[in-house]
Each structure stands twice: as structure tokens, then as C-alpha cells.
Amino acid sequence: MHELSLVAELVESCELHAAGRPVSAVRVRCGDLIDGAELAIAFEELAVGTVLVGAALEIERVPTVLSCSCGFAGPVEAEHSGGHVALCPGCAEVRAVEEVLELVALRVADPKVSPPA
Ligand SMILES: [Zn+2]
């Protein structure tokens, strides 16, 4: 499952920011090609044994952007994509797209901390 490696990185950076404090919620920015359900499952699995166990995952959807060698740069429609490749609307070539999964904010018991912007 592809989401697993993205979530593994996310969990790692959350642990870094939490610095041992229990986390109640994690807010992430997530590319719209990522399967939200799989993301939630992966997060729940990887949170076990960390300060993130039981934390709520709040997902902020952002468009997945494709930059192509033909000069096209813009958001990719889900219907033009499959997994982490997409059809370029400019030249109709299949291109790899970079999936976004980044930490926006962590809510810890007290005090509230946010990762640097
Ligand atoms: Zn193109």
C-alpha cells in the first residue's frame, strides 16, 4: 500500500514535533489523489506504540499538481489520474505526479504546538 510510506514519514515528523507529549489531533494537507480511507487506516496502524495513538486525523484536501516537460503546470483531475500517475492535459503523456502529505498542525495535551511553516 503506497499510503503507508507517506504516513510513516508523517508519523515520524509528528513524533519529532510532539517531543514525547501525547497528541490528541493531527492536521495534514493531503493531495486529492490520495485515498482518504487508506490514509486513515495506515495512520491508525502506524500510530500504535507512539505518542499519536488515538489521535484524530484531520485531512485538508489540496489539489494534486502536475508539472510536465511540455510546459503544462496545473492541477490534475482525479478522472485523468490513476494512483500516482496522471495524463497531462497539455500533451496527453502519462506523467508521475508527486503526492502531497504534509503536517499542518499538531494538537498536544498542552500547550499547543505547530510545526514551523
Ligand atoms: Zn505535458
Chain mean position to CA 109: 23
Over residues 50-62, the pLDDT tens digits come to 999 999 999 999 9
User: What is the distance in A from the centroid of ligand 1 to the CA of 51?
Assistant: 43
Domain span holding position 90 = 65-97
Count of domains forming the chain: 2
Q: Which residues pair with 65 in a beta bridge?
A: 75
Q: Which amino acid is at 8?
A: A
State the number of CA atoms in the 13 A half-sphere of 16 facing the CB.
9
**Taking the alpha carbons of 26, 27, 30, 35 in that order, is the dihedral positive or negative?**
positive
Q: What is the mean pLDDT of residues 98-114?
A: 80
Same domain, yes or no: 47 and 20: yes
Same domain, yes or no: 78 and 115: no
CATH of the domain at 33: 3.30.2320.50
Supply the pLDDT for residue 111: 55
Same domain, yes or no: 93 and 103: no
Same domain, yes or no: 14 and 46: yes
Q: Which amino acid is at 72?
A: F
Same domain, yes or no: 93 and 44: no
User: What is the distance in A from the centroid of ligand 1 to the CA of 103?
Assistant: 30
User: What is the distance in A from the centroid of ligand 1 to the CA of 1?
Assistant: 27
At residue 84 the predicted structure's pLDDT band, cuts being 50, 70 and 90, is confident
User: What is the distance in A from the centroid of ligand 1 to the CA of 21?
Assistant: 46
At residue 68 the predicted structure's pLDDT band, cuts being 50, 70 and 90, is very high
Supply the pLDDT for residue 17: 94
User: What is the distance in A from the centroid of ligand 1 to the CA of 20?
Assistant: 45
Please tell me the distance from the alpha carbon of residue 4 to that of residue 43, in angstroms, as a whole number: 8
